[in-house]
Amino acid sequence: MKRGLWLLLVLVGMTSCAAPIKVTTIPRNQAVIDAINTMPKGGGYSTQPVAHTALSHSIAVDAKGLCLAPQKACPSYCSGATYLVLLEMVKAAEARGEFKLSEGEASALLMTGQADGVNAWGRWNANGPGAAKMIHDLKIGDNFESYAKAQPGDFMKIFWTEEIGKYEHGHLVIYLGSYRHNGVDYVRFWSSNQPKGYGMKSVPKSSIMWAIFSRITKLENIKRVDSLSYQDSFLADMLTRKFSRAEVRSKVF
């Protein structure tokens, strides 16, 4: 990582959570960083029903299309926070005239408490490679495993243990870079993190057992969302059994 970017990330981490994220990144990831900067700060972390209800109230569709109110999504959790970033990217692209969602396409992106693997939200929220598989299936981006390839603005699924599926412990975040401090390699990311909610966090790279990075490259393909099958059985099964890395790789790369 370039020293200038490392210093910038350290300085950002030392400022208040209200400071905007500023990183030098590849152009196609800048939209992700821009979307992060529209999100709330803090707000608390929770995976209880109150957080699911708050997220559902933050996403709506009216005559003008997709409507977002991220400030309503508090407390929050990681998949909800990153989903809001994806949807903010969609809204910004529409505002720039890049594409326009139909009413049906916008409605297909709603969060209505769908079970894991069901519709768009249920795919994004699923255990294992939920977001990565949705990105792959819609052809809105590319998935990879290499830290050397990763850039700020890539989505990142972290696995804290070797478990994938039923017994996994994971975190869905947006990668902000890696750096070395006092001989320890760190990974920095944005998400809804325990206990404060929306914001940035750094963890030792050694604490991450595996990661899948996802880079959005063809956001316009989000218009395919209403053609998704009702349920992705592979992702639905993440709730009930264990999976191997090989099985995941066969579905997302």
Each residue's pLDDT tens digit, 151-160: 999 999 999 9
Provide the sign of the torsion angle of the four alpha carbons 198, 132, 30, 150, taken in this order: positive
Helix (H), strand (E) counts: the chain: 9, 9
Q: Tell whether the model's pLDDT for residue 206 goes beyond 50.
A: yes
Q: Taking the chain, what is the end-to-end CA distance rounded to the nearest angstrom?
A: 25
Q: What's the residue count for the chain?
A: 253
Between CA 50 and CA 151 the distance in angstroms is 33
Residue type, 150: A
Of the ranges 20-24, 32-36, 118-122, 237-241, which one carries the lowest mean pLDDT score? 20-24
List C-alpha distances in Å: 95 to 39, 101, 130. 18, 11, 27
- Model confidence pLDDT, tens digit, residues 15-51: 334 567 666 566 689 999 999 999 999 999 999 999 9
Confidence band, pLDDT 50/70/90 cuts, at residue 1? very low
pLDDT for the residue 16: 35
Q: Which of 12-26, 83-97, 108-122, 206-220 has the lowest mean pLDDT?
A: 12-26
pTM here? 0.91
Tell me, what's the pLDDT at 226? 93
Domain count, the chain: 1
Residue 241, pLDDT > 70, answer: yes
Tell me which residue range forms the domain holding 220: 3-252
